[in-house]
Structure 1
């Protein structure tokens, strides 16, 4: 029997202050964005050796997400932020086999009550 091992490291509710949004006032004032990232990989070697170099460095993942969220030109869509963060993570974290990024925005100009809007982007190596 052939076994396939998959593990994941998650960053849950990483918070960034950034100046994105469709409306000019959102870009001017900025707002709070929350990000979840799930990084799937084979952790057998890390688990067997207890060697941090054999696993996903979640501090590096956090830094990558932070750069996407707070650097560069503002964007209109949280979908754009989720896609950019996922692309950078899968490119820069060699061990990652699959990346899922969710970006949430809580302060929504909807004219009504809503906890948050969320966009999710998934990239998987084949």
Structure 2
């Protein structure tokens, strides 16, 4: 199956289990891979035959910037729920959420989670 990919989408949000995260906020990076049949779009060159990735970006932004969750697992789950609800052609979603600077001691590039869901 074909894919639509949004990589390295950056948002400032207030998700986290610690009070500092809820108060100060931080950057969240979202990578999203949508499984969609793109055969028609590859032939017709018509936006109506695909999923508009700009609209998907706005769907992700709403959850990342307007909602507040304790866990990035829940943030990712809410994003997936919204994408399935708003974009019927999407058959499966792989979504990764990372925090580059969580309030934990150590040296690392980022910490995060990845969810994979198929349309029920």
TM-score (norm: length of structure 1): 0.90
Gaps of 5+ in 1: 1-5
CA RMSD of aligned residues (A): 1.0
Write out per-residue CA displacement over residues 35-82 of structure 1, whole angstroms, 9 at most, x where no aligned residue.
Answer: 00101111111111111110011001000000011113x211111111
Q: Unaligned stretches of 5+ in structure 2?
A: none
Match of 1:9 among 4, 7, 15: 4
Query: Match of 2:49?
Result: 54
Count of equivalent residues = 120
Identify the structure with bigger relative contact order (alpha carbons < 8 Å, sequence gap 6+).
2
Structure 1 runs of 4+ aligned residues shifted over 2 Å read none
**Contact 1:87–1:123 under 8 Å retained in 2:** no
